[in-house]
Amino acid sequence: LAADIAGRPLDRSRPLWEMWVVEGLPHGKVAVVSKYHHAIVDGITGTNMMMHLCDMQPGVSYTPPADITPAEDEPSDLQLAGEALLNLPGRLGMVGMVPKTVGILGGLVQRRRESGGRGMPLPFTAPRTPFNRAITQHRAISFEQTELSDIKEIKTAFGVKVNDVVLAVVGGALRSYLELHDELPETSLMASVPVSTHDTSRHEEGTNKVSTIFARLYTEIEDPVARVLAIAEDNRGAKEEHNLIGADFLQDWGKYAPPNTFQLAARAYSSFKLADHHPVVHNLVISNVPGPNFPMYFLGVRVSSMYPFGPVFHGAGLTATVISNNGHLDFGFIACKELVPDVDKIADAVPEVITELLKAAREKA
C-alpha cells in the first residue's frame, strides 16, 4: 500500500502534501503514511515537522485556534512577470559564480595532490547495475528496524562515525543482493549522500537546505570490517573537500537555473530514456537523518517505528533512507518496481551485515 501511495503523482491543484491513515493492521496497530514534495521540505525539515505533529506524552489535548489566517490569493500572470523582472538583476550574479567555481576546482586538485588522491569519487564514474536505468512510475518498498546501540557499539570499536557504519551496512546489503543476482560489479558502487546545511547555510529563506557528497561503498570488499574502515577513511577526505566547496555552492548555482528550461530538459531526459545511455552518475542515494531520541505519541498513540523513504531518479532507481527513532535505527528502501522487484531482499540482508560487524567489534574489544 505504501509503495502504491508513493507511486501516485501529487495533485498539483492542491498543496503538495498528503497524509494517509491505514487501519486494520495486525495487533490493532495503525499506520500513517505522510508524503510531501521535496520542493516543500528536505529530510531534516520533514523529520522536524513530524516531531512537531507528535507529543512527548499521551493524553495531550489542544484548543482549536480562534483565528485562522486566510490563504494568500493566487498571483496573476502579470504579477509573476513583474516579480521575474525585479529578480532579473540577481540572475547576473551567475557571472561571479564562474571564477568562484574555477577557484574551488583548483583547491580540490591541490588537496588531492597533497592527500595522495583520497577523497570523493567523481560523478559519472560509477559502475552500472540493474537499478541504474530509466525508471517507471511503479514503486516497491521494504524496511527493517535495527538497534541503534548495535550501530554505536560498532562505531566505537572501530573508531568511525555512525554514518560510516550506515554506509557500510547498506553497502554490505547491496553486495549480498547483487551477488544473489550475479550482478556484482568489480568496482565499488557509489552513493550520493545528502548533507544538511541548515546550521551552516547563509541562506535564511527556504526549507530545503541540503548539499551532497559522493561516497564509495567498497562493495568489492568482502570483509565487512575492511569495508567500514575504507569508507571511514574516504569520508574524512570527502568532508574536507565538501568544506572546500562550501555549504551553499549547489544552492547558489541552482538559483540561476531557468525553471521552464529545466522542466523541458527533464521531460526530454525522461522521454528519451537518456539515463540508459550515458555513464552512471551515481548508483543510489543513501540518506541518514537524525530523529527523536525519546518516545513520541501521535494523537495519543505511541509511535513504535518511523520508516523513511526518499525519491528515486532516472539513472538511480533505488534509494536507502535511515532515521534514528528512540533507540532504534529504521531503514527504508524504495525502488522502481521494474528495476528492483525484490527490494525486500536488500532489507533482509541488513541484520546479517550488522551481526557480522557486531561480532567483529566484540572480538576486537
Half-sphere exposure of 177 (CA within 13 A, CB side): 24
Query: Which of 197, 144, 174 lies closest to 284 in space, CA to CA?
Result: 174
Burial of 228 (0-12, 13-18, 19+ CB in 10 A): buried
The span from the CA of 235 to the CA of 194, in Å, is: 13
- CB-based burial, 256-289: b 16+ in 10 Å, e otherwise: eeeeeeeeeeeeeeeeeeebeeeebbbbbbbbbb
Q: Which three cell numbers stand for residue 33?
A: 503514511
DSSP assignments along 145-172, one per residue:
EEEHHHHHHHHHHHT--HHHHHHHHHHH
The span from the CA of 271 to the CA of 248, in Å, is: 31
Q: Which helix (H) or strand (E) holds 267?
A: helix 259-271
Active-site residue, from 38, 203, 278, 328: 38
Query: Which of 246, 266, 255 lies closest to 135 in space, CA to CA?
Result: 266
CB distance 212 to 192 below 8 Å: yes
Q: Is 278 a catalytic residue?
A: no
CA 120 → CA 85, 144, 212, 226, distances in Å? 39, 29, 11, 18
Active site residues: 38
